[in-house]
Structure 1
């Protein structure tokens, strides 16, 4: 009965975003998010020029679309991309109709787009793994970079993204020792997010925070996965990171 009241896995992006919005500190790092509708799509595009349209309960980047407003574009000011295909339209009505046609079943949301940092001309973000230890404290156990496919809009490994050490991706932007202090900041950032979410979702034992970094190196909370894939951390050269992640995962019963 206890697990039914306090689930370990929360799929609804809207609920997780609403929980994080309750924190005055974390709210500043959340991209503006609205429920999907034609009116909200137009408002968000006029304000941000680029947004992402996402399934409320989606995983692995499936069904995610990038939508741009480019008023000086000849072929059409409105365009969206899903997978590798880009479509352009002359009006918000045409854009909205096409998005509805191509979206997956279920509810969607609109999220402010972040101009991601790039490495080798490819967009990247970071996955921050945070776990509850046997001592019942939250600890960041791993950070890994996700380098997007050059022709795709999502960085997920399951969508042809590439797993790369975060330090390598950040090295063109930060030199040691600033890089080390920045990585420490990200560790604390992940733990702050976990400690806040546990209030709304006390059943959580692990989270994977997808963190976008903009051109000023400001971190943004793109999404929080409550059942993150630990095996991506096997790709890191430091094998102790994966061993620690699996040790904690076994301790809270994810694996035998």
Structure 2
């Protein structure tokens, strides 16, 4: 298999009509730009920041000959649609935090009452921890705000309670947000943490768990994403130090079970998928919460924890699954 990288900003030109595309291949001295045949399989790893970037990628793919390629995997829709689908599964319901869509002041007011004046807001689309907000309305005359802005910088401020709805409206802008109760998912030292599971399809097209790792963020940040300055560590050793050996074993067993159930459910609801980053929170009592699922997960956690087998497998599995898809196509052509 030949593997190369290309960018949607490089619009299809006359070369595309001849089934050629410009891209980059990694060689001994670094990335080299060359011309390639249009690939049989395309894996969309773009992390779109706005509607314009999304439309540019769609335009690029729309300009390619339709019969010469297929997508490696679909992407997941927004967090609310994923939540609604998983909520239908009775066995998963206890692990899902109550989730509302933010649609303005009325929805925020409802969430404040429902969640006892303490809540967490995040974009419905992937954000790597950026643009998230913790709201504490427990005081009558003022509100405590804490989170990360669009550039992923940590902020904390206190505003008058009467200014909250206007402030949140400006903070969210035109992006879609969801609202959830604030879950106390911090270590004994007060640092936020979560647990990332990487689920991938293997060379036989079957879901497997590649590995898991804990991500811990700075205490003032409320989130633990690596993009926001978080660090990764071994899940078993961290959980054992926080909860003891027995409870840590129960937590890991629960997470392993959920990680086996979730990918097929999402695939049945949204179409064929190739890999998923599944994020779990664990509160101070040891209860497991499913926080979110990402269809374009990162892989840095395994390098940071020193789990070299998982790190290697995390980059090999997408190639193995691509080969599985190609061989399946060939079998269909030849039968």
Q: Would the TM-score normalized by the shorter structure come out above 0.5?
A: yes
Q: Any idea what the Cα deviations from partners look like across 1:178-228, whole Å, max 9, x if unmatched?
A: 534532331221111112111112221111111111122111111111110
Corresponding residue for residue 111 of structure 1: 180
Structure 2: gaps spanning 5 or more residues: 1-65, 149-153, 324-335
TM-score w.r.t. length of structure 2: 0.68
CA contact (8 A) 1:233 1:242 kept: yes
For the structure 1 residues 111 and 17, does the alpha-carbon distance in structure 2 shift closer, same or farther, using more than 3 Å as the test?
Answer: same
The equivalent position to 2:132 in structure 1, one of 64, 81, 87, is: 64
Corresponding residue for residue 79 of structure 1: 144
Over the aligned positions, Cα root-mean-square deviation in angstroms equals: 2.3
Corresponding residue for residue 171 of structure 1: 240
CA contact (8 A) 1:61 1:159 kept: yes
Instruction: Report the number of matched residues.
Output: 249
Could you tell me how far apart the structure 2 residues matched to 1:219 and 1:182 are? Answer: 7
Question: Within 5 Å, which residues of 2 pair with 1:45-64?
Answer: 45-48=112-115, 49-64=117-132
Does 2:95 align with 1:25? no
Structure 1: gaps spanning 5 or more residues: none
Could you tell me how far apart the structure 1 residues matched to 2:212 and 2:278 are? Answer: 9
Q: Which has the higher contact order (CA 8 A, sep 6+)?
A: 1
TM-score w.r.t. length of structure 1: 0.88
Does 2:214 align with 1:145? yes
Give the stretch that moved more between structures: 237-246 or 124-133: 237-246
Deviation at 1:243, TM superposition (A): 1.8
- Following TM superposition, where does structure 1 have runs of at least 4 consecutive aligned residues deviating by more than 4 angstroms? 1-4
CA contact (8 A) 1:46 1:69 kept: no
CA contact (8 A) 2:188 2:242 kept: no
